Chains A and B, each alone.
Chain A
Amino acid sequence: RKEVEQDPGPFNVPEGATVAFNCTYSNSASQSFFWYRQDCRKEPKLLMSVYSSGNEDGRFTAQLNRASQYISLLIRDSKLSDSATYLCVVSYTTASGTYKYIFGTGTRLKVLA
């Protein structure tokens, strides 16, 4: 089982739609959670961190459920420019004290005109 699992998609949605991505993680000791965005042939860039209380940044809302080990990202009023791959990222500190980032395979979103 992968440490971080995402539905690869693609999700094809019309402009203006609301779309939700889910992610599950296996390590219950995970400490920090993020959503990254990766455009085609580009490097990943941080979209937002995910906090236990849930957080919102404009049209984007992230939720964390530690009990279920589940993270979500909601995009409202989708724009064409939202088309990208969204990577779920989980981090934790190993027994040796190393800080590790674990990336999901990403969910592809295509917003259609």
Chain B
Amino acid sequence: SAVISQKPSRDICQRGTSLTIQCQVDSQVTMMFWYRQQPGQSLTLIATANQGSEATYESGFVIDKFPISRPNLTFSTLTVSNMSPEDSSIYLCSVKRNEQFFGPGTRLTVL
């Protein structure tokens, strides 16, 4: 299994500001994944964070809006930049071992 923690667990932010979400894994992993789950929607992959190289973004997501850091094999951050109410969502960090494990999520509300 994998133990994943995320900070903050929730936040309420003003339009135009940025929020950085942290993800910590209990052991080293090559790839970490960032997902978004909007209300009533499926999980959508934002990007894959690789240690030592730039993150790989999915269609519809760009680095300027969602910059990602991956300083080591157990930690990653996702920043939601210049937020708007449409960014209100749950953001989940994930790693894959035999199965895909998810962090508890960060519930973001943008006013």
Contacts and interface: CB of A to CB of B under 8 A. Distances in A.
> Do A and B make up one complex?
yes
Interface residues of A, number: 20
Nearest to B103: A43
User: Which of B48, B100, B104 counts the most chain A CB atoms within 10 A?
Assistant: B100
Interface string B92-106: 100010011011110
The secondary-structure label for the interface of chain B is strand
B100 A105 contact: no
B51 interface: no
Interface string A11-44: 0000000000000000000000010000001111
Contacts, number: 34
B105 A34 contact: no
Contacts of A112: none
Contacts of B92: 43
Contacts of B103: 43
Q: Is the interface of A mostly helix, strand, loop or mixed?
A: strand
A41 B106 CA distance: 10
Contacts of B45: 100-101
A105 B41 contact: yes
Given A43-B92, A43-B104, A45-B102, A104 B42 contact: yes
Interface of A: 2, 4, 34, 41-46, 49, 87, 89, 98-101, 103-106
